[in-house]
Amino acid sequence: MKRILFALAALSLAVGTSFATTRAAWTDTVTVTSNEVQTGTADLRVATDGTSTAASGNWDTASQTSVFSVTGLVPGDTPKELYSFSLYNNSTNPIAFSLAGQITTSTITPDSGVDKTKLLLQVYNYDTPAEVSAWKTLEEWEAGTVSLGSNLSNATVKRYGIKAQLDIDALDEWQTQVVDFTLTVTGTQI
The residues near 127 (Cβ < 8 Å, ≥ 6 apart) are 52, 158, 159
Nearest to 181 by CA among 119, 108, 105, 115: 105
Do the Cβ atoms of 183 and 142 come closer than 8 Å?
A: no
- Say whether pLDDT at 23 is over 70: yes
SS3 167: coil
How sure is the predictor about 146, in pLDDT bands with cuts at 50, 70 and 90? very high
Q: What is the pTM of this model?
A: 0.81
Listed range (8-22, 38-52, 76-90, 104-118) with the worst mean pLDDT: 8-22
pLDDT at 59: 94
Whole-number average pLDDT of the chain: 90
Reported as a pLDDT band with limits 50, 70 and 90, residue 34 is: very high
